[in-house]
Amino acid sequence: MESLRLASMVDATSAEGPGLRFALWTQGCPLACPGCCNPHLWTERGGGSFSVDAVWERVAASRERHRELEGLSLIGGEPFEQDEPLAALSTRARASGLTVMAYTGYTIEELRARGSALLQAVDLLVDGRYVEALRTTKRRFIGSTNQRLFFLSDAYREDDPRFREPNHAELRLDHQGELTVVGFPFERVMSEFGPGSRLHKERRVP
């Protein structure tokens, strides 16, 4: 099985899907949507290489520390460009009782036409290119109004009150003094920590 090319991982966040979740950001995206908040993840040359087993060990370790961990969130970059290894990871996660949420710039119709193995192992899907002119802050886990949220299993329901909560961002400072912004890229967050800011060279925004 091929390895995963990942930009970063966060062991526990409540900003990237319902409940507390393990989140990973894949490296590489051919779509390059204008206005994307993660353009540094477009290239396939960044990040690091990880086996599925190594990532699963980290998920399992996070679960030991965070008993309330609810699921795995796949963010990019473009997760569906690493379809098979992420399908293997997601299948393992679901078998252990975790849910899987994925964010993709492709439409669900495109993924079905490709016969995506990963799509079969996802409970929640946010699909569609990010369109800067349609940017929204009003829909939970949605970046632009053309994007759609699909409930692909019985794990979640549309009337779950968590889907009506406001988006939020988390600021995390690690032991090396690196600041990471996790979650929804509000204007104020991006102006303070995004490209062009004085802290830009000292942080990453996965």
Domains and CATH numbers, the chain: 4-167 (3.20.20.70)
pLDDT of residue 179: 62
Q: What is the pLDDT of residue 85?
A: 97
β-pairing, 4-13 vs 169-173, is unpaired
The pTM score is 0.85
Encode the chain (206 residues) as per-residue pLDDT tens digits. 589 999 999 999 998 999 999 999 999 999 999 988 888 899 998 899 999 999 999 999 999 999 999 999 999 999 999 999 999 999 999 999 999 999 999 999 999 999 999 999 999 999 999 999 999 888 889 989 999 999 999 999 999 998 888 777 776 666 566 666 777 665 665 555 554 443 333 333 33
